[in-house]
Amino acid sequence: MFTGIITDIGRIEAVEQRGDTRLKIACGYDMSTVDLGASIACSGVCLTVVDKGEGWFAVDASAETLSRTAPEMWTEGRRLNLERALKVGDELGGHIVTGHVDSVGSVVGTCPEGDSVRVGIALPAALAGYVAPKGSITVDGASLTVNDVRDVDGGTHFSVNIIPHTASHTTLGELEAGRAVNIEIDILARYLGRMMELRR
């Protein structure tokens, strides 16, 4: 379980094809405090630490994970938003995040808005009912507030504001039109949507 508050930016140092894809990720964490088997969210994807050393850890990404996440993100040199798993008693600064990606979105555009940047993101129509203005959403692992939502042909567009702090402490400052991003809808919306389906 996570909160969507990014605590480090990692970088993929090596990609090794095995039965699964082994990723070596450089980070600023004190790895003596991270156990093998621990969960770390990597740009919104909950992955298990299978090896570690000073300033790095390794994870295995399955074919299922690769098929359901942004295709460009698992490449050498790619920067990733990192968050360690929530501990009992930690501050819940964002919202409840599972680290399970619901869909890949696509940035449709960005524009300055005061000191912030407004980012528009396209989603498949199947997720339209799970995204609401002023609700929570996770983009590449970061907890954000939805500004507005518009239904368009073939899908849904929503926008978020990236404040300067978020831009400098996550990879979201790099977003530009056409970039694929991992999206996780609010877990409450997911369960409410399922309940409504069953009631119908």
Please enumerate in sequence order all residues whose Cβ is within 8 A of that of 122, keeping only pairs 6 or more positions apart, or say none.
105, 106, 107, 108, 152, 155, 156, 157
What gap in Å lies between CA 26 and CA 62, rounded to an integer? 20
Give the Cβ contact number of residue 108 at 10 Å. Answer: 16
Fold of the CATH domain 8-84: Elongation Factor Tu (Ef-tu); domain 3 (2.40.30)
Q: Are 57 and 34 in contact (CB under 8 A)?
A: yes
* pLDDT tens, N- to C-terminus, the chain (200 residues): 899 999 999 999 999 998 999 999 999 999 999 999 999 999 999 999 999 999 999 999 999 999 999 988 999 999 999 999 988 777 777 888 999 999 999 999 999 999 999 999 999 998 988 999 999 999 999 999 999 999 998 889 999 999 999 999 999 999 999 999 999 998 877 767 767 777 77
Surface-to-core class of residue 18, CB atoms within 10 Å of its CB (0-12 exposed, 13-18 middle, 19+ buried): exposed
Q: What dotted CATH number matches 103-198?
A: 2.40.30.20
pLDDT at 106: 97
Phi, psi values for residue 167, rounded to 5°: -60, -35
Give pTM, 2 decimals. Answer: 0.92
Q: Which parts of the chain fold into alpha helices (H)?
A: 63-67, 164-169, 187-199
Strand 8-17, strand 21-26: pairing: antiparallel
CATH 2.40.30.20 placement within the chain:
8-84, 103-198
